[in-house]
Amino acid sequence: MGCHNVALTGLCLLILCMAIGATAAATEYIEFYNDFGNNHDDAKLHYTHQYHISDSNSQVHILHREQRQGNHVYGSYTHLEPNGHVRSVHYEVRGSRGYRAVIAQRSAHSFVHQSRDFAYEQQRQPLQALPLVKPVAFVI
Protein backbone atom coordinates (compact mmCIF):
# COMPACT_ATOMS: atom_id res chain seq x y z
CA MET A 1 0.00 0.00 0.00
CA GLY A 2 2.86 2.38 0.84
CA CYS A 3 4.57 1.99 -2.56
CA HIS A 4 1.30 2.61 -4.34
CA ASN A 5 0.85 5.98 -2.56
CA VAL A 6 4.45 6.97 -3.29
CA ALA A 7 4.03 6.12 -6.99
CA LEU A 8 0.74 8.02 -7.16
CA THR A 9 2.27 11.04 -5.42
CA GLY A 10 5.23 10.94 -7.82
CA LEU A 11 2.90 10.76 -10.82
CA CYS A 12 0.86 13.71 -9.54
CA LEU A 13 4.05 15.70 -8.97
CA LEU A 14 5.25 14.90 -12.50
CA ILE A 15 1.91 16.02 -14.01
CA LEU A 16 1.98 19.22 -11.94
CA CYS A 17 5.54 20.03 -13.10
CA MET A 18 4.58 19.42 -16.72
CA ALA A 19 1.54 21.71 -16.39
CA ILE A 20 3.64 24.47 -14.82
CA GLY A 21 6.27 24.10 -17.55
CA ALA A 22 3.67 24.29 -20.32
CA THR A 23 2.10 27.37 -18.73
CA ALA A 24 5.48 29.11 -18.34
CA ALA A 25 6.39 28.40 -21.98
CA ALA A 26 3.26 30.16 -23.28
CA THR A 27 3.63 33.59 -21.69
CA GLU A 28 1.15 36.26 -22.66
CA TYR A 29 0.99 40.01 -22.16
CA ILE A 30 -1.96 40.87 -19.91
CA GLU A 31 -2.72 44.22 -18.27
CA PHE A 32 -5.26 45.05 -15.60
CA TYR A 33 -5.89 48.65 -14.56
CA ASN A 34 -8.61 50.36 -12.63
CA ASP A 35 -8.40 53.25 -15.13
CA PHE A 36 -7.61 51.43 -18.39
CA GLY A 37 -8.45 54.48 -20.53
CA ASN A 38 -5.39 56.32 -19.24
CA ASN A 39 -3.12 53.39 -18.37
CA HIS A 40 -2.42 51.16 -21.33
CA ASP A 41 -0.05 50.83 -24.24
CA ASP A 42 -1.87 50.45 -27.59
CA ALA A 43 1.29 49.13 -29.25
CA LYS A 44 1.21 46.05 -27.00
CA LEU A 45 -2.48 45.23 -27.51
CA HIS A 46 -2.80 42.28 -29.90
CA TYR A 47 -5.45 39.63 -30.18
CA THR A 48 -7.13 37.31 -32.65
CA HIS A 49 -10.48 35.67 -32.11
CA GLN A 50 -13.19 33.97 -34.09
CA TYR A 51 -16.34 32.00 -33.52
CA HIS A 52 -18.88 30.15 -35.61
CA ILE A 53 -22.49 29.41 -34.68
CA SER A 54 -24.60 27.09 -36.80
CA ASP A 55 -27.92 26.02 -35.31
CA SER A 56 -30.56 24.76 -37.72
CA ASN A 57 -33.26 24.70 -35.01
CA SER A 58 -33.06 28.46 -34.43
CA GLN A 59 -31.89 29.18 -38.00
CA VAL A 60 -28.88 31.08 -36.68
CA HIS A 61 -25.74 30.77 -38.83
CA ILE A 62 -22.99 33.28 -37.98
CA LEU A 63 -19.23 33.50 -38.53
CA HIS A 64 -17.21 36.28 -36.84
CA ARG A 65 -13.45 36.92 -37.04
CA GLU A 66 -11.46 39.83 -35.62
CA GLN A 67 -7.81 40.81 -35.15
CA ARG A 68 -6.17 43.70 -33.36
CA GLN A 69 -2.59 44.90 -33.74
CA GLY A 70 -2.02 48.05 -31.73
CA ASN A 71 -4.66 50.60 -32.76
CA HIS A 72 -5.56 48.71 -35.97
CA VAL A 73 -8.63 46.46 -35.68
CA TYR A 74 -10.04 44.53 -38.62
CA GLY A 75 -12.44 41.69 -39.05
CA SER A 76 -15.60 40.39 -40.62
CA TYR A 77 -18.88 38.81 -39.73
CA THR A 78 -21.19 36.84 -41.98
CA HIS A 79 -24.64 35.45 -41.45
CA LEU A 80 -27.10 33.39 -43.43
CA GLU A 81 -30.49 35.08 -43.43
CA PRO A 82 -33.69 33.01 -43.23
CA ASN A 83 -34.50 33.92 -46.86
CA GLY A 84 -31.22 32.32 -48.02
CA HIS A 85 -29.18 35.48 -48.56
CA VAL A 86 -25.65 35.57 -47.19
CA ARG A 87 -24.69 38.99 -45.81
CA SER A 88 -21.06 39.82 -44.93
CA VAL A 89 -19.55 42.90 -43.33
CA HIS A 90 -15.78 43.41 -43.55
CA TYR A 91 -14.64 46.22 -41.27
CA GLU A 92 -11.53 48.09 -40.25
CA VAL A 93 -10.72 50.68 -37.60
CA ARG A 94 -7.34 52.38 -37.78
CA GLY A 95 -6.61 54.78 -34.93
CA SER A 96 -8.68 57.95 -34.98
CA ARG A 97 -9.54 57.63 -38.70
CA GLY A 98 -12.86 56.00 -37.85
CA TYR A 99 -14.73 52.90 -38.91
CA ARG A 100 -14.72 51.63 -42.49
CA ALA A 101 -17.01 48.83 -43.62
CA VAL A 102 -17.69 46.95 -46.83
CA ILE A 103 -21.07 45.24 -46.89
CA ALA A 104 -21.67 42.35 -49.28
CA GLN A 105 -24.86 40.43 -49.95
CA ARG A 106 -24.80 37.24 -51.98
CA SER A 107 -27.37 34.98 -53.50
CA ALA A 108 -27.22 32.18 -56.04
CA HIS A 109 -27.07 34.53 -59.03
CA SER A 110 -25.68 37.80 -57.77
CA PHE A 111 -23.06 39.61 -55.78
CA VAL A 112 -23.74 43.16 -54.59
CA HIS A 113 -21.54 45.20 -52.27
CA GLN A 114 -21.39 48.67 -50.80
CA SER A 115 -18.43 50.48 -49.31
CA ARG A 116 -18.76 53.26 -46.80
CA ASP A 117 -16.36 55.17 -44.56
CA PHE A 118 -17.91 55.67 -41.16
CA ALA A 119 -15.24 58.14 -40.11
CA TYR A 120 -16.16 61.12 -38.00
CA GLU A 121 -17.42 63.42 -40.71
CA GLN A 122 -19.78 66.39 -40.81
CA GLN A 123 -22.29 65.12 -43.37
CA ARG A 124 -23.17 61.49 -43.78
CA GLN A 125 -24.97 60.13 -46.78
CA PRO A 126 -27.37 57.27 -46.07
CA LEU A 127 -26.55 53.84 -47.46
CA GLN A 128 -28.69 52.76 -50.37
CA ALA A 129 -30.84 49.67 -49.86
CA LEU A 130 -29.51 46.51 -51.44
CA PRO A 131 -31.69 45.10 -54.22
CA LEU A 132 -33.63 41.95 -53.47
CA VAL A 133 -32.15 38.89 -55.12
CA LYS A 134 -32.91 35.18 -55.19
CA PRO A 135 -31.76 33.14 -52.17
CA VAL A 136 -28.52 31.17 -52.11
CA ALA A 137 -29.87 28.42 -49.87
CA PHE A 138 -32.83 27.61 -47.73
CA VAL A 139 -32.43 26.62 -44.10
CA ILE A 140 -34.81 23.93 -42.96
Model pLDDT for residues 85-136, shown as the tens digit of each residue: 888 899 999 877 788 888 888 875 665 555 555 554 444 555 555 555 555 5
The bridge status of strand 110-118 relative to strand 46-55 is unpaired
Report pLDDT digits (tens) over 41-62. 767 788 999 999 888 888 888 9
Query: Cα separation of 116 and 99, whole Å?
Result: 9
- What's the pTM? 0.50
Instruction: Say how many Å lie between the first and final Cα of the chain, rounded.
Output: 60
Size of the chain in residues? 140
> 119 near 62, Cβ under 8 Å?
no
Q: Where are the beta strands (DSSP E) in the chain?
A: 46-55, 60-69, 72-80, 86-94, 99-107, 110-118
